[in-house]
Amino acid sequence: MPPFVPGPRCGSPADAALADAAPADEAPAAQAEPDEQRIRRRLERLIGIAATEGNTLLPLRNGDEIFPAMLESIRSAERTIDMMTYVYWRGDIARRFAAALCERAKAGVRVRLLLDGIGCHPIEHDLLDDMSESGVTVAWFRKPLLLSPFKQNHRCHRKVLVVDETVAYTGGVGIAEEWCGDARNEHEWRDTHVQVRGPAVDGIAAAFAQGWAECHDELFDDRDRFTPHESAGDAVVQVVRGSASIGWQDMQTLMRVVLESAQHRVRLATAYFAPDDYFTELLGSTARRGVEVDILLPGPHADKRVSLLAGRQHYDRLLADGVRVWEYQPTMMHAKILTMDGIVSLVGSTNFNRRSMDHDEEIMLAVIDRELTATLDGHFEKDFAVSERIAPGRWRRRSHLHRAKELSVTPIRRFL
């Protein structure tokens, strides 16, 4: 039987071949290397979301860069602060964020905080009391006891901060001690966030508004000015929101378009790697047609052993296709980044697993900007230098016990 080759899925937005995004009379050779305009049109047409021009993005690597920038924006807020997160836990950084939000609320700034009902459960209750008493409006996304079992499995995994409608942040970072530092040891997680200015801020704000509308009666007030954005840079940004639903989602289409458009190189970093057979094969087929594919995953300090085992089930198949797999050694690798051909970067909250692409509310920025992509590729080089590359021969000789552990998580892989 010939090997399965990914093709259009029934009912997906990509049922028309990706090549349809180019003119019908364009020769295949002319389609071989999509430039910025061609990949932009593919993304816009196949996902149905317009990209915006005139943006600037500042990549922030690890807590030592991320938290000071976010706190500075919060402390300088004059009108509005909208923040949503899947993780708000404990420790000094949690208290610092609460104090900054409280101070701005007391100063008359409208402060709204949306917390996931499961992910933020460990938050200290005295922080919630302090924020409420200071005028911060706190809402919970889908508290478990108030929902049907079906909805409880669909979480808000987005991490968003929008200040004064002019600056926004998103990426993989939660508000907890685990993200502090600079990935120097196992207690300082490795992650990436981006600061965004320009029209793309509206798309990030919409990701907050979508969750807030489900949890609170008041969607906006007179402190929202809805003023146009001035050009802040040269980056083209498409803001893609994944929403918990049944069937093919925009996040899956985004990943598919970028992987199928790649001609030279794809680099993927993800905290939790448990794709379905379709996306496993898509990664493999991308490598088989000559694209360099590198996947950077957590190693010995993975915070969820079950997710690590679920991902390792795919190593044999990927390695056989020529995909290079790396496991990050210093600490937990929590970033969610993909770069393609030095042109496109994906940055946001989405992991390359069934949970992110099938079940959770997510946000991903598709950025067409060579400068940002070069910076993130530089980060990859630094991360590879402290990672262990999985050797195909050695991996095939792993123990039967190791293989049994991998197989043991198969029944729950779709929920990871």
Q: What is the DSSP string of 133-165?
A: HHT-EEEEE--GGGS-HHHHT--B---EEEETT
The answer on pLDDT for 279 being more than 80 is yes
In the listed set 215, 243, 258, which residue is the last one of a domain according to the structure? 215
> Is 190:114 a contact under the CB 8 Å cutoff?
no
Which positions ≥6 away from 81 have C-beta within 8 Å? Answer: 74, 101, 104, 109, 110, 111, 112, 161, 162, 163, 164
18 found inside a domain: no
Q: Look at residue 68 in the predicted model and tell me its pLDDT.
A: 98
Across the chain, what does the average pLDDT equal? Answer: 86
Amino acid code (one letter) for 47: I
pLDDT at 215: 83
In a domain, 111, yes or no: yes
DSSP state of 113: E
Structural domain boundaries, residue 111: 56-215
Residues 74, 195 share a domain: yes
Residue 33 reports pLDDT greater than 70:
no
pLDDT in tens, 159-168: 999 999 999 9
Domain boundary at 215, 243, 263, which?
215
Mean pLDDT of the region 280-284? 96
The average pLDDT across 225-234 equals 94
Nearest to 61 by CA among 369, 372, 389, 387: 372
Tell me, yes or no, whether 196 and 250 share the same domain: no
Does 359 fall in a domain?
yes
Q: Per-residue pLDDT for 341 more than 90?
A: yes
**Residue ending a domain, choose from 215, 246, 274:** 215
Q: Is the dihedral of CA 195, 65, 208, 39 positive or negative?
A: positive
From the list 157, 341, 172, 353, the residue with the least C-alpha distance to 252 is 353
- Total-model pTM: 0.87
**123, 268: one domain:** no
Average pLDDT over residues 145-153: 60
Answer yes or no: do 175 and 196 share one domain: yes
Most confidently modeled range among 21-30, 338-347, 400-409: 338-347
Please check whether residue 26 lies inside any domain of the structure: no
Q: For residues 99 and 39, state if they share a domain.
A: no
Task: Determine, yes or no, domain membership for 222.
Answer: no
- Highest mean pLDDT pick, 3-17, 72-86, 142-156: 72-86
264, 341 in Cβ contact below 8 A? yes
Residue 133 in domain: yes
The arithmetic mean of pLDDT across residues 353-378, rounded, is 90
pLDDT exceeds cutoff 90 at 29: no
Residues 355 and 243 in one domain: yes
User: CA torsion, points 49, 53, 56, 60, in degrees to nearest 10?
Assistant: 20
Shared domain check, 367 and 242: yes
298 plus 347 within the same structural domain:
yes
Residue 4 lies in a domain: no
- Whether 93 and 200 map to the same domain: the answer is yes
Round to whole Å and give the CA distance between 318 and 309: 15
Q: What pLDDT was estimated at residue 400? A: 52
Q: Does residue 203 sit in the same domain as residue 267?
A: no
Amino acid at the residue 275: P
* Statement to judge: residues 40 and 101 lie in one domain: no
* Nearest to 377, CA basis, from 63, 61, 67: 61
At 393 the pLDDT is 64
Domain containing residue 172: CATH number:
3.30.870.10
Does residue 396 surpass a pLDDT of 60? yes
Q: How many domains does the chain have?
A: 2
3-state secondary structure of 278: helix
One domain, residues 79 and 49: no
> Do residues 313 and 410 touch, judged by C-beta distance below 8 A?
yes
8 Å CB contact between 383 and 333? yes
pLDDT digits (tens, 9 = 90+) for 38-53: 999 999 999 999 999 9
pLDDT at residue 310, rounded to an integer: 74
Whether 118 is in a domain gets the answer yes
Which of the two residues, 11 and 347, has the higher pLDDT score? 347
- Which position has the higher pLDDT, 7 or 114? 114
pLDDT higher at 306 or 279: 279
Rounded distance between C-alpha atoms, residue 95 and residue 67, angstroms? 12
Share of the chain above pLDDT 70, in %: 82
| Residue 269 Cα distances to 126, 162, 335, 383, angstroms | 36, 25, 6, 10
Contact in structure between 168 and 347 (CB atoms under 8 Å): no
* Amino acid identity at 301: H
Tokens 């985004």 sit on residue: 254
Q: What are phi and psi of 90, to 5 degrees?
A: -125, 175
pLDDT at residue number 145:
65
Does the pLDDT value for residue 404 go beyond 70? no
Residue 10 or residue 323, greater confidence: 323
What is the sign, positive or negative, of the torsion defined by CA atoms of 355, 357, 360, 362? positive
